[in-house]
Amino acid sequence: MKIGVFDSGLGGLTVVKELAALIKGADIYYVADTKHAPYGEKTSEQIIQYSLNITQYLIDTHRIEALIVACNTATSAAIKHLREHYPSLIILGTEPGIKPAIQCTKTKNIGVLATPATLKGEKYQQLVSALSAQAHEKINLFEQACPGLVEQIERGDIQSPKTKEMLHAWLKPMLQNHVDTIVLGCTHYPLVGPLIEEIMHHKVRLIETGGAIAKHLLCQSEAKGHINEGPLRIFLYVTGEIQTQMIDHIIKQHEPLKKIDIDNQK
């Protein structure tokens, strides 16, 4: 099986890590679109075009059979268009794990950390409305946009004073309001998960969605005849600059990094 995965940068590698723990007998082709990062500050039209360009590249060059949109912002903006353009592909997106958070919380106070674009997106708003209506008890959501956090992570500044200061400010209201579950609404954010736990005094459960995506892909691919046996190879591609030491921190075994141009895809 040939699997394409993309994100604006390093974040989607947290999803690739979960895929690698579950999927066998496959080649994973990961595109970090760092030339256009961060997506959270781009228009929907721009994100749709980037997503279409990357998908076309993955189809033309690597003949992928499945696509993972490993970016909450791109999922919100582009997944409908991708499914319309490529109906034969298995296409899975990434959305904040509000549902598992509702199932886990004891205090009924849930934090959501996400990019500004994700929180404003129609897909996220619809998800929250639907799940809140289904909940048997009132759920309090403490939503926090995190502008600049993706950039800090991309630079490898995970433990820098600035990153700690940003997270302290954003998490203080959650700590004061007894939030016991925090949804990581961006695939970059698990990379600062230990710092979030430290600030919350380890009295919080973090919800990320990489594991659920891997299980969903395995189920769909096996339904189409994939036999989950054999070696797994991971190929990494980047459109701009990237912190290679961060890649090796997340994914231990992968093929050499290559630079590509996706802007001229038709």
Q: How far apart are CA 259 and CA 251, in angstroms?
A: 18
The residue annotated as part of the active site, out of 71, 104, 146, 219, is 71
Q: How far apart are CA 34 and CA 31, in angstroms?
A: 9
- Total residues found in the chain within this entry: 266
- Token pair listed for 153: 């992570």
Residue 31's nearest CA partner among 95, 77, 74, 90 is 74
The DSSP call for residue 147 is T
Site of tokens 């302290």: 168
The gap between the terminal CA atoms of the chain, to the nearest Å, is 24
Is 71 one of the catalytic residues? yes
CB atoms within 10 A of CB 48: 19
Amino acid at 208: E
The residue annotated as part of the active site, out of 104, 146, 186, 219, is 186
Catalytically active residues, by annotation:
71, 186
